Amino acid sequence: MSLIKNNNAETIMQITKTTHNFAKQRGLELTTVNNDGTELLCIWEANNDWEWICSFQPVQEQLVFFGNIYLPQKCLNTLPTNIADDKELRAVLVKIADAIKTKS
């Protein structure tokens, strides 16, 4: 399980082991990264440790889209700007995994 915290070190969301396994089954990995004092939830392709696909930042009670590295624009346009819980995060992971498969 991962805890996503805001800049005040308050827990915004818990990413469950179920969601980590859900990502792994789709060829993705989830990590938290400190980016100049801001904690980000980063979504990676499995076995790619040099560049994440995209990231979300904790804001208030949710995750907000932060940045895209190489997710296709068509998929990016379908992603929600806010993620409120694990269930919504898993829906985002499905879209990203499908887009990465299609890209290959």
What is the chain's mean pLDDT, rounded? 87
pLDDT tens digits, residue range 37-84? 888 999 999 988 789 999 999 888 899 999 898 889 999 899 998 999
Say what the pLDDT of residue 13 is: 75
**The token pair that represents 88 in the structure block:** 């919504």
5 confidence band (pLDDT: 50, 70, 90): low
Predicted model pTM? 0.87
| Whether the predicted pLDDT of 104 surpasses 60 | no
Given a contact cutoff of 8 angstroms between Cβ atoms, the answer to whether 82 and 72 are in contact is no
| Whether the predicted pLDDT of 100 surpasses 70 | yes
Say what the pLDDT of residue 48 is: 83
Given a contact cutoff of 8 angstroms between Cβ atoms, the answer to whether 49 and 43 are in contact is no
Domain count for the chain, please give it: 1
Q: Which domain holds residue 73?
A: 2-103
Say what the pLDDT of residue 10 is: 65
Say what the pLDDT of residue 40 is: 92
Say what the pLDDT of residue 103 is: 65
Instruction: Name 19's Cβ contacts closer than 8 Å, sequence gap at least 6.
Output: 30, 86, 89, 90, 93
